């Protein structure tokens, strides 16, 4: 398996991305990684890899890309003048069949637009949806989508998100019948916007989906559903708020134990449990958002991810490659959207 990586997009610089790629290669012995960025800069990072990454170095290859798409760069400029950037060359490499998936921590809007242009979409989808897994009760997780790619959507797009999220949970996580829900301000059928209520009515007619209706914000982390659907504005707000809350809780617990000598003693006794809690809540474990609907696999890493977090994003790409997710989406969404359009026309 070969994964192409845009090394230059992250906030932490190329070192974190190169080390994250090396860590992923160590965790997956059959994985080869193609790194895109300025050759001299990447050569320095490879030469300075910590000793424990040495075994992975032979499976890391450098591809020269002299330019970078900045996080604040206008999308129009990235599309017109970005051909020599690390992101664009990584995606061209993927589109040319020389890699099985691509990973970038760069500008999200540019990554979406360039991915769509290079790879195309499946089943006439208009644009990708961003989805990631979030932790739920009893060490579970659910997929939330969309997370910002589609801020203002109609009911048809919410139905598309439901199909895509359900297919991903079924094929990548092996769930036989993933529970699908719409995020709303109440569980009653009269609550929410007209768009959400229309999507609810449409999804109730879809016998192929295990649709369980509306869920509220406090249900997201309770494990009430395996796939939760919303527009990109709401999804992005939920995701960012949950990441901030997780960090705040961890910091508060640590500060409480360190405030007094008695607390420090209790903290020493509770350290294994605290370490486990931190691991379970740490957003790093869930880094790596899928750009669903593309005719290829592209994973968006959090821009601030360090090496360990970036390795999780690469791991997400590996899982989707192993399950050949785009092929499943193409076949299942084509049939699903065809039936959706037929039912709409009959009405």
* Each residue's pLDDT tens digit, 266-298: 656 666 655 665 555 555 667 889 999 999 999
* Superfamily of the domain at 2-124+293-324: Isopropylmalate Dehydrogenase (3.40.718.10)
Does 258 score more than 80 pLDDT?
Answer: no
How far apart, in whole angstroms, are the C-alpha atoms of residue 280 and residue 5?
A: 27
- Rounded average pLDDT over 117-134: 88
Q: What is the CATH number of domain 129-283?
A: 3.40.718.10
pLDDT of residue 117: 93
Query: CA torsion angle for 336, 338, 340, 346 (degrees, to 10)?
Result: -150
pLDDT for residue 329:
87
Cα separation of 145 and 190, whole Å? Answer: 23
pLDDT band at residue 343 under the 50/70/90 scheme: very low
Over range 120-142, report the average pLDDT.
85
Give pLDDT, residue 165. Answer: 92
CB atoms within 10 A of CB 291: 24
| CATH 3.40.718.10 intervals, the chain | 2-124+293-324, 129-283
Omega within 30 of 0 (cis) for the link into 146: yes
- Under the banding of pLDDT at 50, 70 and 90, the label for residue 141 is confident
Interior angle at CA 297, CA 215 and CA 113, nearest 5: 85
- Residue range 32-37: mean pLDDT, rounded: 96
Q: Which residues contact 301 (CB under 8 A, 6 or more apart)?
A: 10, 103, 104, 105, 287, 288, 289, 309, 310, 313
- β partners of residue 144: 132, 228
- Among candidate residues 133, 132, 131, 91, the one with its CA nearest the CA of residue 110: 91
| Residue % of the chain over a pLDDT of 70 | 86
pLDDT value, residue 345: 39
Residue with tokens 């405030």: 259
Total residues found in the chain within this entry: 347
Pick from 21, 50, 54: nearest CA to 37: 21
Assign residue 225 a region (left: φ > 0; alpha: ψ between -120 and 50; beta: otherwise).
beta
- Across the chain, mean pLDDT equals 85
136/267: higher pLDDT: 136
Residues 85-114: tens digit of each pLDDT: 999 999 999 999 999 999 999 999 999 999
Query: At a CB cut-off of 8 Å and minimum separation 6, what does 249 contact?
Result: 281
Contact assessment for residue 170 and residue 178, using Cβ atoms and an 8 Å cutoff: yes
136-172 exposure pattern, b = at least 16 Cβ within 10 A, e = fewer: beeeebbbbbbbbbbeebebbbbbbbbbbbbbbbbbb
* pLDDT (average), residues 146-164: 89
Tell me the whole-structure pTM to 2 decimals.
0.85
Tokens standing for residue 98: 């020389």
HSE value, Cβ hemisphere, 13 Å, CA-based, for 125: 32
């Amino acid at each position: 398996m070969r994964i192409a990586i845009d090394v230059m997009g992250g906030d932490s610089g190329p070192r974190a991305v190169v080390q994250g790629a090396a860590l992923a290669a160590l965790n997956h012995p059959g994985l080869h990684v193609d790194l895109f960025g300025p050759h001299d800069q990447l050569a320095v990072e490879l030469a300075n890899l910590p000793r424990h990454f040495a075994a992975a170095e032979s499976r890391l290859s450098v591809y020269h890309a002299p330019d970078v798409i900045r996080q604040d760069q206008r999308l129009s400029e990235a599309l017109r003048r970005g051909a020599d950037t690390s992101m664009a060359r990584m995606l061209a490499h993927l589109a040319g069949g020389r890699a099985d998936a691509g990973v970038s921590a760069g500008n999200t809007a540019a990554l979406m637009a360039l991915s769509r242009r290079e790879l195309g979409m499946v089943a006439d989808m208009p644009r990708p949806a961003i989805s990631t897994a979030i932790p739920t009760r009893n060490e579970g997780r659910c997929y939330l989508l969309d997370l910002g790619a589609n801020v203002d959507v109609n009911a048809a797009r919410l139905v598309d998100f439901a199909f895509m999220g359900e297919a991903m949970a079924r094929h990548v996580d092996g769930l036989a019948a993933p529970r699908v829900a719409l995020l709303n301000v109440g569980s009653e059928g009269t609550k929410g916007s007209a768009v959400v209520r229309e999507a609810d009515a449409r999804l109730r007619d879809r016998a192929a989906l295990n649709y369980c209706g509306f869920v509220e914000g406090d249900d997201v982390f309770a494990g009430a559903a395996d796939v939760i659907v919303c527009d990109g504005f709401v999804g992005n707000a939920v995701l960012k708020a949950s990441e901030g809350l997780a960090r705040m809780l961890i910091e508060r617990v640590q500060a409480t134990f360190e405030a007094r000598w008695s607390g420090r003693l209790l903290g020493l006794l509770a350290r294994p449990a605290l370490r486990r809690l931190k691991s379970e809540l740490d957003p790093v474990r869930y880094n790596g958002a899928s750009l669903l609907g593309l005719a290829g696999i592209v994973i968006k890493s959090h821009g601030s991810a360090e090496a360990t977090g970036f390795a999780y994003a690469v791991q997400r790409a590996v899982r989707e490659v192993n399950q050949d997710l785009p092929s499943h989406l193409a076949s299942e969404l084509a049939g699903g959207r065809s039936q959706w359009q037929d039912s709409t026309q009959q009405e």
